[in-house]
Structure 1
Amino acid sequence: MSQERPRDLAHAQTAFASYQDEIYLNGLLTGEPPRFPTGAAAVEAAARERMTAEAYGYVAGGAGGEATIRANRAAFERRTIVPRMLRDVGVRDLSCSLLGTELPAPVLLAPVGVLSIAHPDAEPAVARAAAGLGLPMVLSTASSVPLEAAAEASGDGPRWFQLYWPKDREVTLSLLRRARAAGYTTLVLTLDTWLLGWRPRDLDRAYLPFLQRIGIANYLSDPAFLAGLATPPEEDPLAAVAHWAGMFADPTKTWEDLAFLRAHWDGPIVLKGVQHPDDARRARDAGMDGVVVSNHGGRQVDGAAGSLDVLPSVAGAVGDDLAVLFDSGVRGGADILKALALGARAVLVGRPYVYGLALGGEEGVRHVLRCLLAELDLSLAPTGHARLSELGPGVLGTD
Structure 2
Amino acid sequence: MEGLLAPLSEADATIQSMEDASPAKWHAAHTTWFWETFLLRDHLPDYRLYDEAFPFLFNSYYETEGERIARGNRGLVTRPTLADVLEWRAHVNAAMEPLLDDERCLDLIELGLAHEQQHIELLLTDIKHAFSKNPLGPAMWDRPGPAAPAQADGWIEHPGGIARVGHQSEGFGFDNEGPAHRTLLEPFAMSRRLVTNGEWDQFIADGGYGDHRLWLSDAWDWLNRCNITAPLYWRGEGAGGEHFTHAGWQERDPDAPVSHISYFEADAFASWAGCRLPTEFEWEAIARGQDAPETGQRFDASAGNQLDAAVPPTPVGTAELFGDVWQFTRSAYLPYPRFQPAEGAVGEYNGKFMAGQWVLKGASCATVRGHSRASYRNFFYPQQRWQFTGLRLAKDI
RCO higher in 1 or 2 (8 Å CA, sep ≥ 6)?
1
TM-score under structure 2 length normalisation: 0.29
**Greater helix proportion:** 1
